[in-house]
Structure formats: structure tokens, C-alpha cells
Amino acid sequence: MYKGFLVDRNLLSTDPHFSQGCGFCHMGDEKGASKADAHRGLVKKPSDDLKICGRCHDQIAANYGKSLHYTTAGLKHGIRGRLSTAEESLFNEKVFPKSCNNCHATCGDCHVKSPTIGGVNPGLIQQHQFVKRNEGKTCALCHGGRVYPEFTGEYGGTPDVHYQKGMTCIDCHTRKEAHGDGSTVTSRKQVADRPACLGCHPRGSDKSDKSRAAHDQHAGKLSCVACHAAGQYRNCYDCHLGAGATAKPGFILGLDPRERKLVTTLRVIPTVRDTFSKAGVAMENYDALPNYWDTVPHMIKKRTDRTRSCEVCHTERQGFLSKETLLKGGSKANEGLIRMPPQLP
């Protein structure tokens, strides 16, 4: 791990980022005789203050300040509907800054040094080189609980077909999406031009009649991932402030809780009734939102159990949310997500 703190000396003379010396960004005492002296007043993550990068990259920094990676507003948005007005103020004051917003990504987390996860700091991405992208050392860490290991197959399933073809995160989730475009958004669903399957695989591009028939039959009723997510993905349960959640694999199909039109893959949200009780937030409107959100498991395959056989859904109803499989003691809104496929004649 110590290698993560080693700087490439050659960069000092070739990269303009170093022209003003280390202290320009990191403060500290460049003349300090010991580690303790040199690190006194050290700013470990200078880009926590976007103005530092904004001196040269002003537009990107301004946009980034409004992006979800920086504001983590999506996390607040996800919980807001469960809170009364008084609770929301308490949440914003006591919980959000210390918990959710603590996870925000700075410029440096993606371009210089891998983000600290669970107290572990893997260190510099490439000896303090300012890198454009290195998903395995950046995205993979913050999104390493669910999405990234699903994508690479580290959970034991086969890797996502896009990963197998050599694609990584930024090939779909573009720089514009990561940096933001200057709009204030509260959810990833509001991000303009976010990736969509149909962007690369438009309707009518099927290579076989069978595929075309299946797509025509299910258009407007199912999301793409409802059929093309390869298998079980990770769901997190029972999260408590400061103690974390527990995870187990599962595959759940039900109505998209946002629009209630399409059947799609759902992921359990680990917020339980007493998640924030330590902070005095009881979530008076807990039952206003379900315990499942629509999700895009990053384990896409052309052929899955559901694309091979109609029976898997229409006879066996595998994975479909039902009264029997709903979370025990969960939100009253969960029942509204149950949608069974019609039985085959």
C-alpha cells in the first residue's frame, strides 16, 4: 500500500500541475524536518474545494459542483419522501452531511488518488499523474459494493457482455454525465443524455425474426434488463446509521416504482424503519415509498433464462414479486409493485 503514496519524480518537470510546488494545493510545511512537521496543516484532498481545480478548469469545476457525484443529492432525494418537514430539517442537519454527503467524490478521487472506502485508502492512481480515466481504481471503489463487481463478474456470475467486449464505465457513462452539465439535478433519472440501451440498440435492429417478435410483444411492458439481466444481483438489507447493511443475492421483478408502467428489475433498498433512529429521525412517512427501487443490474447478456423460454415468466413466474415474497415488516407501498405476467394459455 505504501506505493500508493509514491510520486513519480519525472512528473515534476513535465506536468504543469506541479509547477507551483506541492504546497500550492496541499498546504502543509514543505520545509518540515519530520513527517509530522511536514504534514502539519496538510490538506489531504485539495479538490474538496472545487476552487483549487477551478482556477484552471473553471467550467468543469462549476458544472461538477452541481453534479450528483459531488452533491450526492440523489441519496437525499431517495429518502426525502419518507420524512416529515421537521424531520427533513433534522436529516439535512444531522445525517446528510456526516453520512450520505461524506461519500461525495472530489476531482482528485477520480483523477489523482483512489477514493477512501471503508477507511482504506489505496493511494495514488498512478504516482500522482493526473489521469483522465482509470475506472478500475476509481469508479470500482465507490461503486464496488454492487455495480462494478456485477459488471466484471466478480460475484461469480459471468461478466456483463459489454465488459467482455472491452467496454468500461466511461464508454456508456460519459464525461458529461460524470462531471455534470451545470444543471441542478436531484436524481440520476434527471440527468440529460444518460445512457440507454436503445441508444446503441435501437428498435428494429434485431438480427432474427424471433428476437423481433419477442421485442415487439413486450415493448412498453418490460424494461430491457427485465429479460437481459443475467442472474442474481446484490441486494442490501437492514441498514442502520453507523453500522451499515447486510447484503445477499437475489433477482426481483416488479413494477418500476417511479412510473408504475413497466415491469423491471428491482433492488431492495436497505432503509428500514429505524435506520436513522439514532439521529432522532423516525421517518414519519416511511410507508409513502416502497423498499424496492428500479435498478439496472450491470450483468447484461443477450441470452438469459427469460429470453430462452416463455415459461420462466409466464408459467413459473420466476423472480416476480408476490405477497409471499415481499419483505416482512416492509413499507406498505411495496404491494403496489406487484405485477404478475399473464399465464400462457
Partner 1 sequence: MPVLRISFALLILTLALVPVSHAEDGLSGCVSCHTDEARIKALYTPTEAPPSEGEG
**Which spans of this chain sit near partner 1 (rule: CB under 8 A)?**
1-3, 5-9, 12, 21-23, 26, 28-33, 35, 38, 103, 117-121, 128, 142-148, 236, 244-247
Q: Smallest gap, in angstroms, from Cβ of residue 218 to partner 1?
A: 30
User: Measured in whole angstroms, how far is the alpha carbon of residue 279 from the centre of its chain?
Assistant: 25
Q: Smallest gap, in angstroms, from Cβ of residue 159 to partner 1?
A: 18
CA distance 105 to 286: 29
Q: Smallest gap, in angstroms, from Cβ of residue 97 to partner 1?
A: 17
Q: Smallest gap, in angstroms, from Cβ of residue 172 to partner 1?
A: 17
User: Measured in whole angstroms, how far is the alpha carbon of residue 148 from the centre of its chain?
Assistant: 9
Nearer to partner 1 among residue 118 and residue 345 (C-beta):
118
Q: Smallest gap, in angstroms, from Cβ of residue 221 to partner 1?
A: 30
Nearer to partner 1 among residue 8 and residue 193 (C-beta):
8
CA distance 305 to 229: 10
Name which of 303, 296, 72, 68 is nearest 196 in CA terms.
296
Nearer to partner 1 among residue 143 and residue 176 (C-beta):
143
Nearer to partner 1 among residue 125 and residue 142 (C-beta):
142
Nearer to partner 1 among residue 82 and residue 146 (C-beta):
146
Q: Smallest gap, in angstroms, from Cβ of residue 246 to partner 1?
A: 7
Grid coordinates in use for 258? 417511479
How many of the other CB atoms lie within 10 Å of CB of 311?
Answer: 13
CA distance 259 to 263: 10
Grid coordinates in use for 91? 436529516
Nearer to partner 1 among residue 235 and residue 304 (C-beta):
235
Q: Look at the block and give the residue holding cell 420462466.
A: 312
Q: Smallest gap, in angstroms, from Cβ of residue 338 to partner 1?
A: 27
Nearer to partner 1 among residue 121 and residue 190 (C-beta):
121
CA distance 190 to 178: 13
CB 289 within 8 A of CB 268: no
CA distance 12 to 326: 58
Alpha-carbon distance values, 259 to 16, 251, 333 (Å) = 49, 20, 14
